[in-house]
């Protein structure tokens, strides 16, 4: 029997409360060696919704799973039509104050690294370097047969040519770049094969129900081992792919700090959870550290 991946989590009544005091986060960064683990919540101020926050996409949308993607051509048609439309929105998204603050912390030597669960590339666009993309990136495409990698923009051009006039109005865009379209809007959208071998193409991202590559997980575990503390930004930590690093840090006695408006599955392991929007919280932290950076809202 095929099991659906964990998509939701409900905190117990005695779950630790949040605070608005950013002092502990500033103190950890001042000490240096902070490893950042970011989630979808850091990109909401760039116009990309998160999964589980207020108004999150899971209230209206079930993400494509790896098993469903492999199951048949119609599922892939539905995915690629929706993802092709969503890619246009992702391409217009710009880094916000949270992304720029993380880049500023790195420039001033306060970070041990950045791991992101996001697939939007906004950390890099803000100036962060050597970002570990835990779940891959939407700007790459991989062939499931021959393993060839190609740029998403190249596939987008091919899909535009193969589907002239395809411009439906989506009811929403999701953190995985999947636009909300009806089956009627998807219609007979033409899916294209790999130009190398004719195989099935998939965005180079980890779908729900798919395992993160083991070597990537080990790289992240090594970063946790080397860090002085772990700072979680905008993640509910519902799925194990991110929560395991929080547990690893806590078991090693390293401070874990969380900035997320809603409770997270990792709060019991955390020194504190700052319940503020990411942009405002990290701008305040930068101010305490006297670090100048462009904290304007995303365009």
Which CB contacts under 8 angstroms, 24+ apart, belong to 169-174? 170/82, 170/85, 170/86, 171/60, 172/49, 172/57, 172/60, 172/61, 173/48, 173/49, 173/86, 173/89, 173/90, 174/49, 174/51, 174/57, 174/61, 174/63, 174/86
Based on the domain organization, do 192 and 270 belong to the same domain? no
pLDDT tens string 86-128: 887 777 889 999 999 999 999 999 999 999 999 999 999 999 9
How high is the pLDDT of residue 87?
86
Residues 171 and 86 in one domain: yes
Model confidence at 154, pLDDT cuts 50, 70, 90, reads: very high
For residues 111 and 162, state if they share a domain.
no
pLDDT of residue 10: 77
Residues 34, 112, single domain; the answer is yes
Is residue 135 flagged as an active site residue?
yes
Q: What residues form the annotated binding site for NAD(+)? A: 39-59, 117-120, 234-236, 278
Under the banding of pLDDT at 50, 70 and 90, the label for residue 153 is very high
Residue 293's pLDDT is: 72
pLDDT confidence of residue 11: 77
Using a pLDDT cut of 90, give the percent of the chain over it.
74
Per-residue pLDDT reduced to its tens digit, 133-143: 999 999 999 99
Query: Does the pLDDT at position 7 exceed 80?
Result: no
113 and 226: one domain?
yes
What residues make up the domain containing 70? Answer: 60-92+138-205
pLDDT at 2 over 50: no
* Mean of pLDDT values over 25-31: 98
Alpha-carbon distance values, 108 to 25, 123, 126, 290, 294 (Å): 16, 16, 15, 11, 14
Residues 239 and 174 occupy one common structural domain = no
How confident is the model over 167-192, as a mean pLDDT? Answer: 84
Q: Are residues 102 and 231 in the same domain?
A: yes
Helix and strand counts by DSSP (H, E) for the chain: 10, 9
| Per-residue model confidence (pLDDT) at position 176 | 72
Backbone angles phi, psi at 140, to 5 degrees: -125, 155
Q: Average pLDDT, whole number, for the chain?
A: 89
Tokens of 232: 């979680």
Annotated binding site: 39-59, 117-120, 143, 146, 194, 197, 234-236, 278
How much is the pLDDT for 1?
33
Query: What is the structure's pLDDT at 172?
Result: 72
What pLDDT score was predicted for residue 198? 97
Catalytic residue among 61, 99, 123, 135: 135
**pTM (predicted TM-score):** 0.89
The structure tokens listed for 182 are 């009806």
Nearest one of 29, 38, 39 to 112, comparing CA atoms = 29
Distance CA 282, CA 233 (A): 9
The span from the CA of 221 to the CA of 231, in Å, is: 14
Q: What is the DSSP string of 189-232?
A: PPP---TTT---EEEEE--BTSPPPHHHHHHHHHHHHH-SEEEE
Q: 48, 281 in Cβ contact below 8 A?
A: no
pLDDT digits (tens, 9 = 90+) for 34-70: 999 999 999 999 988 775 455 444 444 567 889 999 9
State the CB neighbour count (10 A cutoff) for residue 232. 31
Model confidence at 74: pLDDT above 90: yes
Tell me, yes or no, whether 216 and 258 share the same domain: yes
Q: Which of 179, 205, 231 is the last residue of a domain?
A: 205
User: What CATH number does the domain containing 43 carry?
Assistant: 3.40.50.1220
What pLDDT was estimated at residue 8?
62
- In this structure, the answer to whether residues 79 and 178 fall within a common structural domain is yes
Rounded alpha-carbon distances, angstroms, from residue 216 to 22, 135, 213, 221: 31, 9, 5, 9
Q: Please give the tally of structural domains in the chain.
A: 2
Residues 287 and 165 in one domain: no
Pick from 61-65, 164-168, 269-273 the range whose average pLDDT is largest: 269-273
């Amino acid at each position: 029997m095929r099991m659906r991946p964990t998509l939701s989590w409900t905190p117990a009544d005695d779950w630790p409360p949040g605070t608005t005091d950013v002092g502990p986060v500033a103190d950890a960064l001042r000490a240096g060696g902070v490893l950042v683990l970011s989630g979808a919540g850091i990109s909401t101020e760039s116009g990309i919704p998160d999964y589980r926050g207020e108004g999150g996409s899971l209230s209206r949308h079930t993400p494509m799973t790896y098993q469903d993607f492999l199951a048949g051509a119609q599922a892939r048609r539905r995915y690629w039509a929706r993802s092709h439309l969503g890619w246009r929105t992702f391409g217009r998204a710009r880094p916000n104050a949270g992304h720029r603050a993380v880049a500023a912390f790195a420039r001033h030597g306060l970070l041990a690294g950045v791991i992101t669960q996001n697939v939007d590339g906004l950390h890099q666009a803000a100036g962060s370097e050597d970002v570990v993309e835990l779940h891959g990136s939407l700007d790459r495409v991989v062939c499931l047969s021959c393993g060839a990698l190609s740029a998403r923009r190249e596939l987008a051009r091919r899909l535009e040519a193969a589907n002239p006039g395809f411009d439906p109005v989506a009811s929403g865009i999701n953190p995985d770049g999947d636009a909300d379209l009806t089956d009627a809007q998807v219609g007979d959208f033409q899916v294209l094969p790999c130009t190398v071998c004719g195989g099935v193409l998939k965005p180079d991202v980890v779908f729900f129900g798919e395992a993160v590559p083991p070597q990537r997980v080990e790289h992240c575990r090594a970063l946790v081992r080397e860090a002085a503390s772990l700072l979680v930004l905008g993640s509910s930590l519902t799925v194990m792919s991110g929560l395991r690093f929080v547990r690893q840090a806590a078991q090693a006695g390293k401070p874990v700090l969380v900035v997320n408006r809603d409770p997270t599955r990792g709060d019991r392991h955390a020194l504190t959870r700052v319940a503020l929007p990411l942009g405002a919280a990290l701008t305040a932290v930068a101010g305490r550290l006297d670090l100048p950076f462009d904290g304007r809202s995303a365009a």
